[in-house]
Structures are given as structure tokens and as C-alpha cells.
Structure 1
Amino acid sequence: MRELLPLLRPHRRALGAAAVLSLFSAAAALAQPALVGQVISAVGSGGAVLPGVVALVVVLVAAAVLGAGQQYLLQRTAEGVVLSTRRLLVDRLLRLPIAEYDRRRTGDLMSRVGSDTTLLRAAVTSGVVEIVGSVVVGVGALVAMALVDVWLLLVTVLAVSVGVTTAVLASRRVRELSRQAQEQVGAMSAAVERALSAVRTIRASGATAREVDTVGTSAERAFTAGVQVARLEALVSPAGSIAVQGAFLAVLGLGGYRVATGSIAVADLVAFILYLFLLVMPLGQLIGSYTQLQTGLGALARVQEVLALEPEHDEEPERPAAGRSPAVLRTPTGADPVPLLQLDRVGFGYPDGTAVLHDVSFTVPAGSRVALVGPSGAGKSTVLELVEGFYPLSAGTVRWAGTDVRELPRAALRARMGYVEQEAPVLAGTVRENLLLAAPDAGEQQLWQALSDVGLTGVVQRSARGLDVAVGDDGVLLSGGERQRLAIARSLLARPALLLLDEPTASLDARNEGLLRETLAAAAADRALLVVAHRLSTVVDSDQIVVLDAGRVVAVGTHAELVDTSPLYRELATAQLLVP
């Protein structure tokens, strides 16, 4: 409840209004049996009946209107709680350290935003306020029943206590079982996301039936967990029914006897029975609300698990306007130039103890082109991820213009860099939306120029929609090379001071590779480039080539120097027919 109350606090006015309506509705409900008793007494004594009937009708209508207003406020508040919780979750999910995404499954995280937050709606609508209203009606009914006949009240309390005790005992485990059920739903969502994201590979591998079985098994686990919750909740309903029927029969039997002996009047017995129904109805609501509240709190625990994760604490900076050249690092005349980027004895390993980099040191001067080459698994892509600040260093220092990056705002540093991943991800949407991701203020002409720089204008011009042509989910409507060029155009458009490229030509044909080399050469005139490459032909003209092997720098130099001094580089160059 301590975790739920902060989510309800922004809606306290609406909840307060709903609580007030609930109290008035309870008062109207409690007045009805007394009015019915008065009408019956008036009929028996021959008095005026109309005033009592009119008063009863007014109270009935008022109770209905008040109940409708209360339900609307509760539903509206519940939707507001779900909305604010989803916003909090999405904000936290998109700001988590990259390492968290490595440890968690995307489908499970999506399930927390979807189904888990939906269950919070029940915690509000069937939980907090309705519990208060049910308690008020129940207590009021008990007081009124005591005023009518104490013996009938004792019989009622004994019968109802059996059902209440059983329901409370059954509801104690609802929260934990509900959480387990939601975890299984999250696992099922993760299995579905895994299958859909690789559906082409699954079809090509003839593995459709096996994947259907895998997802089906996950769905069966979710079904089993859901049945356990349903079985437990099902215990509440029979217990309540037995208590209600037992109380009703006991009151009829004892009440009939007391009427026959003249201990109470018929009107009092009718009023008592109506109060009994007023007690039983909110009691049933109370038990149901408690169960729903436990279910919602079980889902809330999964939501809070994500909200408790530590995000990256950097304010979002304003990126330089598209088309404006980035600030170039300058040093006083005669002073030693300060490199734009410097790695000094950098080491990195994953939490499981797997070491990736050892004592990596090299510099990237402003306006230079530096390439990282080496066999697969040498740690080249990891270097770029560390420069971007995706992972904390295990050892050593990364400096930006002479300053330790740990002393700089991470987001502000990233605003000065462009990064194109090896997979060159393209977001679902349009070409325009993908380009504007890194430069939201870019104009039409700048967008077309960026596409022209990477040879992508022809692709866009194929459609009458131009820049608003859809690229499909994950850019599926584009070829691999087109996705890669679009990702590069997106980074170039932001005019970064340092451009990080991970295998930029991996999916390009020879013609477009040559065009991109010319584009990168022109881009290097006012920015630095740090390029990971397997195709040495794309980086032979780099100002500096850093050779990595097994996470260590084994050689640094130009292409000509490395051919003479580095056996590993000469081996790579020979295999790619760059040297005889």
C-alpha cells in the first residue's frame, strides 16, 4: 500500500470526491430499510402512505445517481493512474543502463507496461474507495440491526463470520500467486517477441512447428498460474454464498418465531432483513475488493521492480542545429594539440567475469580518421560502446578533449557524437521520422542532402510519398544496405564532432561502398571518425589504424607501416588481396 499511495496522490481530489459520494450513497442505502418499515407500519395502521413512498423513491434515485457519479470518478481516476504509471515505466525503461537490457527479456518488460499496469486499474476501482464505502455501509447496517433486534444480530454475525474468515484466509495468497501468474505472462510475451522478431529465420529453418510448441508451452505455464489464482478466488464465492444463505435462513426462522411471540413487529423484521441484505452486499463487495486489491498489488510489485532500477541520471541536452558545423577543438599557438578522444589503459569485463579489453590505449585527434581492425571477437565494437558510455569501465580512462568522460554529463557527451551500430537499426515509421530522430529541427533541404550524401535519394524517389515513405517494422521494407545508409545519413545530419561507425560498409555493394567512402572522406574534413572495419579496403587511407587482437592493442600505424611491422595486419591484408 505504501507503494500504491504515491501513484494515487496526484488524483487525491478525484478520490476524495468519490469517497464523499460513497458516503452519501451509503447514507441513502441505509435510509431505505427504515423508510420501507415506515411504509409498512403506515399501511398497517391506516396512516398516510404517500409521503413515505415519495421519500423512498427520492432516496432510491439519489442512491443510483450518487453511485453512478462515484463509479465514473473511480474509473476515470483508475485510467489516470494507469496512464501515469505507464509514463513512469516507459521513461524508466528508456533510461536504464544498457547492461540492464542485456540481462532482461524485452517481452517481459513490455508485459509490465501492458498487462501489469492494467491490473492496477482494479486496485483503484475495486480497491481503495469501494473498501471505504463498503465498510461505512456495513457498519451502518450493523448499528441499525442492533437497534432493531440484538438476538437477530447475534445470529447474523455468527453466520457471516464463517464466510468472512474463509474468504480472508483464501485471499492472503492471492497477491503472491497473482504476481507469479504475471511473471508467466511476461515470459510468454517474451517468447512471442522472440519468435516474431526472427520469423523469417524460423520459416527458413523449418522450425515453425517447434517455435509454436515453445510459445505454447510458455502459454500453458501462464494458464496453469492463472488457474491457481482462479481456484483460490473461487473459494471466496461459495463461502460468501453459504454465509448469506445461512444468515438469511437463520434470521427468517428466529425472526418468524419472535414475530409470533410478539417480541418484534412484522415491519421491524422486514427492515432487519433489508439491513441484512445491506450488510451482505457491501460485505461481498469488500471481500471481492480485497481480492482485487491483492491482485493489483501483485502487479504493482512487478512495476516497482523496474521503477526501483537506477537510471542514467543525465539531463537531455539540446543537440546542435542540423547543418551547423560542430565546434572544433582549438589549442593555443605552440601548445601540444589535445586529442579529441583518448583511451588510456582501458579495461573492460562483463559482470560474469568475462574479460573483453586489456590496457587499450590510443588517441583520436580532432578532424582525423582512425580505424579499428582485427579478427572477430577482438573487442572492436566494445570499444565504441565504451566511448558512448553504454557500460562502465573496469579499468583505465576515456578522455574527451582532455577531460575524463566520467566528469562530463553523459547525455551532453553523446550529443557531440554520432553512432551507427553494426546492425544499423531503423525504427518503424517513415524515412523522415528516422532522419529527424537525431536532428529534429532539420529542414527539408537538409534531409534530402543527407540522403544524397549516402546515395539514398533514388530509394526515396521511388515512392510518391517521398520522405514520408514507410520503412516497415525494423526497416524491413529496405534492403540491408539501404538500412545501413539511412542510419549513416541520420548520424551525419546531426553534425557530430566525432562519428563512430561500426562496420559501415558491411551491407553495401562495391558502387555504394565507393560513394560512402567519398562521403566519409568529406565528412572527416570537420569532424573526427572512429571506424570499426573488417573490409580493410575501406580504411586503408585512414590517418591511423589500430589493430586489436584478443582485447589488446597489438599495433598502431598507417596502412603502409602496418604491412611492414604487424604480422596480424599483414595476414588480414593478404587475405583481402590488398598486398601480394
Structure 2
Amino acid sequence: MSVKPRRIDLRALLPYLRPHRRVLLLVAALSLAGTLATLLQPLLTRAVLDAIGNSEPAGRLVAGLVALLAIVAGLNAVRDYLLQRTAEGVVLASRRTLAGHLLRLPIAEYDSRRTGDLLSRVGADTTLLRAVVTSGLIDMASGMIMIAGAVIAMVLLDPLMFTVTAGGVALALSGGMVVARRVRPASRAAQERIGEMTATVERALTAARTIRASRAEERETEAVGAAAEAAYRAGLRAARLQAWIGPIGVAAIQGAFLLVLGIGGARVADGSLSVGDLVAFVLFLFFLVMPLGRVLNVYTQLQMGLAALERIHEVLDLPLEPDAPQPAPRPVEAAPAVEFAGVDFSYGDGPPVLRQVSFAVPMGTRTALVGPSGAGKSSVLALVERFYEVDAGAVRIDGVDVRRLPREVLRGRLGYVEQEAPVLAGTLRANLLLTVPAATDAELLAVLDAVNLGDLVARTPDGLDAQVGEGGVLLSGGERQRLAIARTLLASPPILLLDEPTSNLDARNEAALRAAIDAVSADRTMIIVAHRLSTVIDADQIVVVDGGRVVAVGRHAELLDTSPLYRELATHQFLVT
């Protein structure tokens, strides 16, 4: 399900800032103190100049000015550290929230989105939130205080000069705001192109061996280059807008400074303004214009941060995988362990994958799903796990519709080994502990022996801490599959779902794995998807699926007589002549 992007404002940042409110209040107090101390500097400078001009002692005033400068520096250093720490906390919280949400999205969302773009949102987009905190809220607040103080002081010193300079500054500032408002859509476009580039790179690196074997390095390099160039062009568009912000601020400063020097110099010459007042006015002018330039830059940073926050909330607004309320309904006595009742299913808006599928798996029995490729066998297992929702009918576990079972309860009863047998980067131990974090080494070694992987531990000095590589690349295909099965067997679930468990095994290891499955299948329910009929001919029942429909159910010998499709499959695999 896709969610329409929505335009958000700074209120969306409040949940991330709320845990840091005490620190932010301290930062605000330090910022206010530093701003007030800074505003005192021109007044002390004027007093020093007036004292020198009147041949009066100025030592104490100079010492006070130096102390004030040191105080301002110290206050700003503490404030900046606290802001940086808070910003890192905001980034950490946003990454945790986003990662937790991503891992709980419906499986269909992963099917429709590129992994690299999601990675970009967790990495690059969350990083931009740092600027919203460090260069954003507090800087803007302190800048506004500084501006207000400078304006009041300038009006009191010389209303005429303030009126003239304020007009020029306001004109330059309005132009800068017009440009800054256009930064947000440009920044969002640039971040989207970065996400697309990351997705393209992720795709190429994931399939590096296939690309090499296909001699497609040059084509994939060009594809990555094209995505990088699109990100480059989008970044340039945002950079062109940002490039105007600085010169506009500089022009405002220079224009205001020249106006003050011209008008102020004339007023000093005719005696209507003292040199001390002119210097103080010029300093207050800098305290007005410099914060205005900073506020303009902060506004630009905020637009970039809000664009990133919009992309983050695009994911956070996606509904999570549906769950059922606690407590779980009680199992129905004497009900099948797994039951499909008139199930229709399709992936999104695609064609039907399953049509009116009905069969029951009695508790403690072994059921095999067989049929041609694309018949819908793996989809059956996905529906049992409730990775997808049925379009019609019902899937039941122990007589209870899976839609009424909380996910933790449902998946706690299921052990699922996927067809691709994914292995996580890390160690053998980390892969096994994924399902049972508290398992002992003895339990880990026992389950590895059960799937004929004991030699994998023995042949390396690292033992269970041996690395398996990215995606299990340091293992053979058969070893990856057996490790995935061992990981599932360790949890000892009452229902095992095995999708092509022997697809990557040679005859010797297939026999060993079949023996392991036989050993653990006692008092457990098993559903096995199989292309090799030799692995399931002793199943309690075999469900033959073709074109998304159940076309036959029975045992091996029975189906050879009653199902033409099953007999054809058996003939092709030399099980009958």
C-alpha cells in the first residue's frame, strides 16, 4: 500500500525533540545569556571610546570588555556542544524509529520498493535532521533575540540612521526569502535522486558475480553513472539556489555598512553624533545584519531538513503489518494443524496466484506440495506465515483464522525455511541465535550435527564464531541451505514450513538432511514444498497444485494412478517407467 506524500512542518520534529527538552531549555538559556552579553559589547566599547576621548581612565572598562568576550565564548562553546549532542540524539532516535518501522512493514511493501532507496532514507535523510537542530531552532531563536536587541539599541541611538539602513536590509532579506523557499522542493528532488542512485549501486553490488559472469560490468557502470549524474544535476539545482543566499546576505551587510558610514560620518562632522555613538551604532548594525544572514541560512537548512523529514515520514506513514489483538483465541479441539478453505490470492493488482485452494494438514503429519514451477506452492507457505493477506477464504492454524492470531503467537508456532535459504552476514553463532537467542553452545552444535554441518565447525579454529560472509558467500549453496534449516530446527516449532529444503544439496547431503527431518518431525506437523519427488514420496499426503488450483490430493502410490500430472512429474524424475 502506498501513502500519498504530505507536506509537513516543524511540528513533526517534536516527538524527536521531546526527550531532549531539558537540555534544549538549558541551551535556550545559554543562548539567551550569550546574546544579551553580546549586545552589551557595543555599549562597553562606546564607554571605552568616550573615556579615552575624555582622557579618563579606561582600564576597568577594557578589562570588563575582555571578560565579556571570554564569557560569550564560553557560553557559546557549551551551547554548541549541547546542541551537537542533542542533534546526534535526534538522528539516533529517527534512525531507530525508521528502522523499527521498516522491519515491520507488510512484505508487499518490500516487493514494490527498492532496497537502496529505503537505505538512503535511514542513512542520508536522517543525517540532514542534524542541521535542523544544530543550525535550526535554537540559532533562529537566538538570532531573533539578537535582532530585536540590536533594533531597540539602534533606534535609541539614532532613529534616522536606523530607518535608512532598515529599508535596505529589508529589501535584501525579502529577496533572500524568495530564494530560500525554493530550496525545499529542490532539496527533496536531490535526496530522491540520491536514493535512486543508492538503489542502483545496491543492485549492482548484490549481483556482482552475475554481472561479472555476464560481462556486464560496463553496462552496469553506465547505469550507476547515469543515476549518479541525475543526482549530480539535482544537487546542482539545489546548490544554485543555495549559492544566492550568501551573496544576498553579504550585499545587505555591505549596503547597510556603506549607508551608515555615509550618513553617520556626515552627522559626526556636523557634531550631531559622537564618534562613540557611531562606533556603537556600527557594531549594533553588525549584530543586526549578521544574525539576519544567519537566520536566512538557518531557514534554508530548515527547508532541506523538512524535505528529508517528509521522505522519512513517507515511510513512517505506511501502515505496519496487520496484527490481531491479544489474547489469542484458544485452539479448536481436534482441528487440523493447518487448513486452507476456499483461498483466493493475488499479489497486489496482478493476476490470481491461487484459486479456491482447499486442503487440510492433520496435526503431526507430513504434507508435501508438488507441481510445476509457478503453480503457487511457495505462495501457500507465505499465506500460512501471513506475509500476505488472502483475497478470499481463510487460512487456519489449529482451527483459528490466522488473521485472529497475534503475529508473535502465529509465528511462534511456525518454523519457516525459505527457498533461497538466506544467511545473514556475521558468524555461524549469530545466524543460529537469530531464532533462539538463549541457546547454549551444546544446543547449537547438536542442531548443526543434525543437518550434517558439524564439520563446518571442526574445520576452523574459530568454531561457532567462524564468519559466513555477506549473504553466506563463504559457504557453499548446500551449506547455506542447511544452516538456514538448522536455524529453524533450533526453535523446535510445532509446525515446520520447508520451501525446497533440498534444492541445493547433493545426494549424500540430501539423504543426511532427510534423516534429520525425519528425526525432528516426530510429533510435529510439516508442510514441504518439493520439486524432487524422491524427497516426499513417503509423505502422509501429497497435494498436487497446478495453475493455482489443487488438482489432486493423496499418497504417492495413489496419485500415480489418479493424477496424470503427478504421474508425469514422477516419470520425468525417473520414479516410474
Q: Please show how residues 349-428 of structure 1 align to structure 2 within 5 Å.
A: 349-428=346-425
The residue number in structure 1 matching 2:54 is 45
The residue number in structure 2 matching 1:65 is 74
Query: Following TM superposition, by how much is the alpha carbon of 1:570 offset from its aligned partner in structure 2, in angstroms?
Result: 0.3
The residue number in structure 2 matching 1:324 is none
The residue number in structure 1 matching 2:154 is 145
Moved more, 43-52 or 226-235: 43-52
Moved more, 27-36 or 44-53: 44-53
The residue number in structure 1 matching 2:230 is 221
CA distances 1:350-372 after superposition (whole Å, capped 9, x unpaired): 22232100011111111111000
Contact 2:332 2:400 in 1 (8 A): no
Question: Does residue 127 of structure 1 match 2:124?
Answer: no
Q: Within 1, Cα distance between the matches of 2:441 and 2:248?
A: 69
Contact 2:324 2:404 in 1 (8 A): no
Query: Following TM superposition, by how much is the alpha carbon of 1:473 offset from its aligned partner in structure 2, in angstroms?
Result: 0.3
The residue number in structure 2 matching 1:258 is 267
Q: Following TM superposition, where does structure 1 have runs of at least 4 consecutive aligned residues deviating by more than 6 angstroms?
A: none
TM-score, structure 1 length as denominator?
Answer: 0.96
Contact 1:456 1:485 in 2 (8 A): yes
Q: Within 2, Cα distance between the matches of 1:549 and 1:304?
A: 42
Given candidates 434, 448, 461, the residue that maps to 1:451 is 448
Question: Does residue 78 of structure 1 match 2:75?
Answer: no
The residue number in structure 2 matching 1:465 is 462
Question: Does residue 276 of structure 1 match 2:310?
Answer: no
Q: Within 1, Cα distance between the matches of 2:111 and 2:190?
A: 24
Q: Which residue identity lines up with residue 509 of structure 1 in the other structure?
A: D
Question: Does residue 575 of structure 1 match 2:572?
Answer: yes
Q: Within 2, Cα distance between the matches of 1:448 and 1:312?
A: 34
Change (3 A) 1:570 1:550: same
The residue number in structure 2 matching 1:32 is 41
Q: Please show how residues 87-486 of structure 1 align to structure 2 within 5 Å.
A: 87-312=96-321, 314=323, 337-486=334-483
Q: Determine helix, strand or coil for the equivalent of 1:2.
A: helix
CA distances 1:165-193 after superposition (whole Å, capped 9, x unpaired): 11100011111111111000000000000
The residue number in structure 2 matching 1:325 is none
Query: Following TM superposition, by how much is the alpha carbon of 1:459 offset from its aligned partner in structure 2, in angstroms?
Result: 1.7
Query: Following TM superposition, by how much is the alpha carbon of 1:556 offset from its aligned partner in structure 2, in angstroms?
Result: 0.2
Contact 2:117 2:198 in 1 (8 A): yes
CA distances 1:13-48 after superposition (whole Å, capped 9, x unpaired): 111111111111110110000000000000111112
Contact 1:166 1:236 in 2 (8 A): no
Contact 2:500 2:530 in 1 (8 A): yes
Given candidates 42, 56, 59, the residue that maps to 2:65 is 56
Q: Determine helix, strand or coil for the equivalent of 1:3.
A: helix
Contact 1:314 1:411 in 2 (8 A): no
Contact 1:341 1:400 in 2 (8 A): yes
Q: Within 2, Cα distance between the matches of 1:444 and 1:267?
A: 81
Contact 1:316 1:411 in 2 (8 A): no
Query: Following TM superposition, by how much is the alpha carbon of 1:284 offset from its aligned partner in structure 2, in angstroms?
Result: 1.2
CA distances 1:38-68 after superposition (whole Å, capped 9, x unpaired): 0000011111211211111111111111111
Query: Following TM superposition, by how much is the alpha carbon of 1:312 offset from its aligned partner in structure 2, in angstroms?
Result: 2.5
Q: Within 2, Cα distance between the matches of 1:80 and 1:129?
A: 16
Q: Determine helix, strand or coil for the equivalent of 1:398.
A: strand
Q: Which residue identity lines up with residue 552 of structure 1 in the other structure?
A: R
Structure 1 runs not aligned, ≥5 long: 318-328, 332-336
Q: Determine helix, strand or coil for the equivalent of 1:235.
A: helix
Q: Within 1, Cα distance between the matches of 2:322 and 2:14?
A: 25
Q: Within 1, Cα distance between the matches of 2:325 and 2:502?
A: 31
Q: Within 1, Cα distance between the matches of 2:412 and 2:321?
A: 15
The residue number in structure 1 matching 2:484 is 487
Q: Which residue identity lines up with residue 498 of structure 1 in the other structure?
A: I
The residue number in structure 1 matching 2:493 is 496
Given candidates 534, 539, 544, the residue that maps to 1:537 is 534
Q: Determine helix, strand or coil for the equivalent of 1:53.
A: helix
Moved more, 556-565 or 346-355: 346-355
Q: Within 2, Cα distance between the matches of 1:156 and 1:138?
A: 14
Contact 1:517 1:538 in 2 (8 A): yes
TM-score, structure 2 length as denominator?
Answer: 0.96
Query: For this pair of structures, how many residues does the alignment match?
Result: 565
Moved more, 409-418 or 35-44: 409-418
Q: Which residue identity lines up with residue 274 of structure 2 in the other structure?
A: A
The residue number in structure 2 matching 1:528 is 525
Q: Within 1, Cα distance between the matches of 2:323 and 2:459?
A: 41
CA distances 1:486-522 after superposition (whole Å, capped 9, x unpaired): 0001111100101000000000000011111111112
Contact 1:96 1:309 in 2 (8 A): yes
Q: Determine helix, strand or coil for the equivalent of 2:11.
A: coil
The residue number in structure 2 matching 1:320 is none
The residue number in structure 2 matching 1:321 is none
Query: Following TM superposition, by how much is the alpha carbon of 1:6 offset from its aligned partner in structure 2, in angstroms?
Result: 2.0
Q: Determine helix, strand or coil for the equivalent of 1:471.
A: coil
Contact 2:324 2:405 in 1 (8 A): no
Q: Within 2, Cα distance between the matches of 1:187 and 1:84?
A: 24
The percent of aligned pairs where both chains have the same amino acid is: 58
Contact 1:315 1:411 in 2 (8 A): no
Query: Following TM superposition, by how much is the alpha carbon of 1:160 offset from its aligned partner in structure 2, in angstroms?
Result: 0.9
CA distances 1:230-267 after superposition (whole Å, capped 9, x unpaired): 10011111111111111111110110100111111111
Q: Within 1, Cα distance between the matches of 2:34 and 2:556?
A: 85
Q: Within 1, Cα distance between the matches of 2:571 and 2:335?
A: 35
Q: Within 2, Cα distance between the matches of 1:361 and 1:494?
A: 29
Query: Following TM superposition, by how much is the alpha carbon of 1:425 offset from its aligned partner in structure 2, in angstroms?
Result: 0.2
Structure 2 runs not aligned, ≥5 long: 1-9
Change (3 A) 1:63 1:186: same
Q: Which residue identity lines up with residue 447 of structure 2 in the other structure?
A: A
Query: Following TM superposition, by how much is the alpha carbon of 1:386 offset from its aligned partner in structure 2, in angstroms?
Result: 0.3
The residue number in structure 2 matching 1:322 is none
Q: Which residue identity lines up with residue 279 of structure 1 in the other structure?
A: L
Query: Following TM superposition, by how much is the alpha carbon of 1:559 offset from its aligned partner in structure 2, in angstroms?
Result: 0.3
Q: Within 1, Cα distance between the matches of 2:11 and 2:456?
A: 55
Contact 1:316 1:412 in 2 (8 A): no
Contact 1:7 1:81 in 2 (8 A): yes
Q: Which residue identity lines up with residue 291 of structure 1 in the other structure?
A: T
Query: Following TM superposition, by how much is the alpha carbon of 1:338 offset from its aligned partner in structure 2, in angstroms?
Result: 2.0
Moved more, 44-53 or 289-298: 44-53
Q: Within 2, Cα distance between the matches of 1:511 and 1:456?
A: 13
Query: Following TM superposition, by how much is the alpha carbon of 1:7 offset from its aligned partner in structure 2, in angstroms?
Result: 1.6
Q: Within 1, Cα distance between the matches of 2:436 and 2:523?
A: 18
Q: Which residue identity lines up with residue 256 of structure 1 in the other structure?
A: G
Q: Which residue identity lines up with residue 516 of structure 1 in the other structure?
A: L
Q: Within 2, Cα distance between the matches of 1:518 and 1:180?
A: 56
Contact 2:325 2:404 in 1 (8 A): no
CA distances 1:130-183 after superposition (whole Å, capped 9, x unpaired): 000000001100110111111110121112112201110001111111111100
